[in-house]
Amino acid sequence: MEMTGEQKSSVVEKTFSPAEVRKLLNSDNREIQHLCKEINVFPKKDNNSGKIFFLKSDVEVLKKVKDLYEKSQQIKENKKAGTALVESNTAIKPVSENDDLNSVMGAVISAREDIVKRLRDVIEEKLDGIDDVVVELIKSKVENERLRIKLEQLTKENHELMSDSEKYKSVGFGLYKKSR
């Protein structure tokens, strides 16, 4: 069975060389290999020319994962910087010599520090969970795409085998004759 031009264009996907991927992701080979292993995306090899390439969908997934990784690193850095600011801001020295005022200010400061610590822990826990969910979602999407491509290949192979089997006509006693 022949595929129409529209079907061929949907099967053929834009490809990128490793050098183009390095340039698009602004990364070195080691970082790209780490990302590929992390989400189970691997470059393909052209059987005819032997050249290695990445599919466009794989490059998009790699870019999303790299962006997510950079954002999480930035959040961690901001969190550390925020912690340093909070700690430096908590060093409020009482102005008055009044013991009652000092104890109230100490209670307020310790309550504030406790609230900030609890909020920081809750936010950190939620962000860690979100990162894992996003990575799993990306892995699932990649696996789904692989299975879709495999299904298309098997469907094509099935059509070819069906058309080959239609070329033979039974002449009896389990014998077949090629009719076309």
| Domain span holding position 90 | 5-150
| pTM, to two decimals | 0.42
Residue 171 pLDDT exceeds 80: yes
Per-residue pLDDT band at 2 (split at 50, 70, 90)? very low
| 171, part of any domain | no
Per-residue pLDDT band at 155 (split at 50, 70, 90)? very high
| 165, part of any domain | no
Q: Concatenated DSSP letters for 121-174?
A: HHHHHHHHHHHHHHHHHHHHHHHHHHHHHHHHHHHHHHHHHHHHHTTEEEEETT
Q: Is residue 53 helix, strand or coil?
A: strand
CA distance 41 to 92: 52
| 158, part of any domain | no
| 160 within 8 A of 1, measured Cβ to Cβ | yes
Identify the CATH number of the domain in which residue 121 sits.
Answer: 1.10.1660.10
pLDDT in tens, 84-130: 444 444 444 444 456 777 777 888 888 888 899 999 988 888 887 78
Of residues 71 and 21, more confidence is placed in 21
Helix segments in 2-98, DSSP class H: 5-11, 18-25, 29-39, 56-89
Single out the residue of 89, 83, 18, 88 nearest to residue 54, CA to CA.
18
| 9, part of any domain | yes
- Give the residue-averaged pLDDT of 152-161: 96
| 164, part of any domain | no
Give the rounded percent of residues in the chain with a pLDDT score beyond 90. Answer: 16
Strand partners, 39: none
| 180, part of any domain | no
CA distance 45 to 138: 22
Per the structure, how many domains does the chain have? 1
Q: Is residue 176 helix, strand or coil?
A: strand
Q: Which pLDDT score is estimated for 111?
A: 85
Q: Which pLDDT score is estimated for 98?
A: 67
